[in-house]
Structure 1
Amino acid sequence: MLLSIIVPVYQVEKYLKTCINSMLNCHGFSYEIILVVKPSCDKSEHIANDIQKEYSDRVIIVNQDGDGLSNARNVGLRYAIGDYVAFFDSDDYIDATAFSDLMKSLESRMPVDAVISDYYIVGNSDNISQVDTIDGEELICDNGYLEVFLKKRRNYWNAWQYVLRRNFLLENKLLFLEGTYSEDIEFATGVIFTAKRFAFYGKPYYYYRIGREGSLANKVTLKHVVDLMNMLEMSMNRVNSSDAYLKNTIRDKLFLQYILSFVMIFDVNKSERKKAADIIKNKNLLYKNNRNSFLKKILLKLGVLNGARVLMLVRMLRRGILKIH
């Protein structure tokens, strides 16, 4: 079997059918869809069971044995049998034709450790924008293109933009850290520094929903702040201990995310705002000695609170005037 698609299922009844049906439209290659189900108060589990009964040749249901997205993905990986795995979220959906084209191209170019793709962003009003950083619409199998990709892309770590060779993950013990948020950062950094052969796909197939009502990603707590700082620190330590020629480029991406995290202090409960600012400030020594652009240096010098005010203003302008998340 070529591909195992791993989909955590929890409180997504409004989106689940669209998500799974988009995958069931894939064609021209062998695949399985592994639904990792955690019981919830909505009809998600019922919907998953109905779909599995109808498509038992392609859909498998396994029970989540812990909590959180990372645990669900790790559970799915244990059951997967495909040469490759993809980690898709159950509130998103794909263009089956574009994805099928990718997988058929990949099958003829095996083995590749990691395929990274462009994607679409679906906003609150169903407005769609494209993250367009990879040239052309053909599969690019060229490790040298990694530098081009990283310099164009703001971040590299959303797990659903990857198709990964399953044995590559298992042999290098690349799993998702459980019990934490922002785990994609540490996971993807491990992939970038461990993979030996990359490919890139500029024809977007993944539709990523942002700001959906009820999404856990929209509820920022102090733990989100703590975990993000820890994931950035772990990733930065991995970068600093590496001799990879792209380490400075990766540092830039991690530092940018650190700067952007300042605005989180306005997303947590007001009573925890100072504590959140202190947590972020305590990590700034990780970034002070890195090569930084003039703008980043200014924001770092402004400090967390003033830097957050600037970023909040930018965010309001993007969302209010430009309609960009």
Structure 2
Amino acid sequence: MDYNKKLSVIVPVYNTEKYLNRCLDSVLAAIPEHSEILIINDGSPDQSEVIALSYCEKYPEIIRYFHKGNGGLSDAKNYGLSHATGEYIIFLDSDDYIEPDMYREILGEMQQTGSQLGICDINCEYEVEGTNLISCCYNPNRGSTFFQILDTPLMAASWNKIIHRSLFEGLDYPTGLNNEDVAVTPIILGRANHCVIVKKPMYKYVQRPGSIQNSTFNNKRFVIIETTNIAIERAADFPLHIQEQIKGSLYIHQILGLVLYPIRQQSFLKRYSMIKEYMKKVDGYFIDFFQNRYVMDNGMTDTYKNRIFKRLSTRLLKKKLYLVTSIFFGLVNLAEQINSQMVKKGHK
């Protein structure tokens, strides 16, 4: 198939007028020759359209602008894919930004090795705290490059991966569901002939109040169960060992991860109630969850403290001791608060 452009950067936009200039400036500095930027305005009610149109007027040979009715992030991504003309695809959240060498460096590595997918590390920027945390895009404790990328908490992210267009064939993002990348990225990884890892934190993932990931936590986030199930069903055509690795990663980092981190941070009664409700849904969807070897071995390569936390939590959940689990999480939260206060005092 012939492609008109080398790379299509798809930028879904909704209520990000505060961040859009920075985002577009960063991608313009990074865009390779003969590439395009697609701005998909998903019915944003703020001034994002005014900002986007000003960039279109200034860079008409690079930027294409589309305005559509609000359909959510999945719908905006599907819309962008249907209009993209690049041989390679990458997404960019409009409240994030990138390093100037990100796209060219990843594409260069991909073309040198004949790879269909390239990935880089992530720099998580916490807007309120003013802190940064580097998230590696690979797990060195796993054997193949595929499994190294798969077995990470941010594996599903679509914005730190350049993907050959052919890998999207027959795939779409499930409309109306958040955590949409979970249903697509594992399948793309499984399809790729080879993946390259650029071990530099070139994607700036901005953690801001009010974003989807940082809004008030509620049971709408349980949608991760549905997107995980879609991914597992879509992986059915892969060899069994690939299916097992995909399922293990999703069970650990998506399904179990929601309990061990955001649910754990809720107040005691809310936490207890949500654990019961969530685990009932997990049991209904994934009858093999606690028989999965990756779930039961979770934390084996972590530090001693994290390993004990993960393994004890898993065993309490397996036995349906949800009240005990909630009490245990409260103790862990308290210990983390005390440790954080001690660290702050030590820096004064």
Shorter-chain TM-score: what band? 0.7 to 0.9
SS in structure 1 of the partner of residue 12 of structure 2: strand
Larger RCO, structures 1/2 (Cα 8 Å, 6+ apart)? 1
Identity %: 23
The separation in 2 between residues aligned to 1:163 and 1:231, in whole angstroms, is 22
Structure 2 runs not aligned, ≥5 long? 298-310, 342-348
In structure 2, the CA distance between the partners of 1:179 and 1:320, relative to structure 1 (3 Å rule), is farther
Q: Confirm whether residue 300 of structure 1 aligns to residue 318 of structure 2.
A: yes
Shift of 1:305: 5.1
SS in structure 1 of the partner of residue 45 of structure 2: coil
List per-residue Cα deviations over 1:253-307 (Å, max 9, x = no partner): 2222322222438659x88974773243232334022111244334433545543
In structure 1, give the amino acid aligned to 2:319.
K
Superposed, 1:194-205 pairs within 5 Å as 194-205=191-202
List per-residue Cα deviations over 1:208-262 (Å, max 9, x = no partner): 112x12213323333321x111122333444566424244433332222322222
- Quote the residue 1:183 is aligned against: 180
| Bigger radius of gyration | 2
1:213 to 206, 209, 215: 209
Q: Which moved more, 1:303-312 or 1:120-129?
A: 303-312
Superposed, 1:89-128 pairs within 5 Å as 89-110=93-114, 112-124=115-127, 125-128=129-132
The separation in 2 between residues aligned to 1:203 and 1:307, in whole angstroms, is 37
In structure 2, the CA distance between the partners of 1:215 and 1:251, relative to structure 1 (3 Å rule), is same
Shift of 1:100: 2.1
- Quote the residue 2:16 is aligned against: 12
The separation in 2 between residues aligned to 1:233 and 1:304, in whole angstroms, is 23
- Quote the residue 1:261 is aligned against: 258
The separation in 2 between residues aligned to 1:114 and 1:315, in whole angstroms, is 38
Shift of 1:76: 0.6
Shift of 1:74: 0.6
SS in structure 2 of the partner of residue 128 of structure 1: strand
In structure 2, the CA distance between the partners of 1:248 and 1:11, relative to structure 1 (3 Å rule), is same
Q: Confirm whether residue 166 of structure 1 aligns to residue 162 of structure 2.
A: no
In structure 2, the CA distance between the partners of 1:135 and 1:254, relative to structure 1 (3 Å rule), is closer
Q: Normalising by structure 2, report the TM-score.
A: 0.77
Shift of 1:192: 2.4
The separation in 2 between residues aligned to 1:272 and 1:302, in whole angstroms, is 14
- Quote the residue 1:148 is aligned against: 148
- Quote the residue 1:63 is aligned against: 67
Number of residue pairs the alignment of both structures matches = 310
Q: Is the 8 A contact 1:280 1:304 kept in 2?
A: no
2:80 to 68, 76, 79: 76
- Quote the residue 2:41 is aligned against: 37
Q: Is the 8 A contact 1:33 1:59 kept in 2?
A: yes
The separation in 2 between residues aligned to 1:79 and 1:92, in whole angstroms, is 22
Which runs of at least 4 in structure 1 moved beyond 6 Å after TM superposition?
Answer: 270-273
- Quote the residue 1:250 is aligned against: 246
The separation in 2 between residues aligned to 1:167 and 1:250, in whole angstroms, is 20
- C-alpha RMSD of the superposition: 3.1
List per-residue Cα deviations over 1:179-223 (Å, max 9, x = no partner): 11111111112212333332222222111112x122133233333
Q: Normalising by structure 1, report the TM-score.
A: 0.82
Q: Is the 8 A contact 2:106 2:118 kept in 1?
A: no
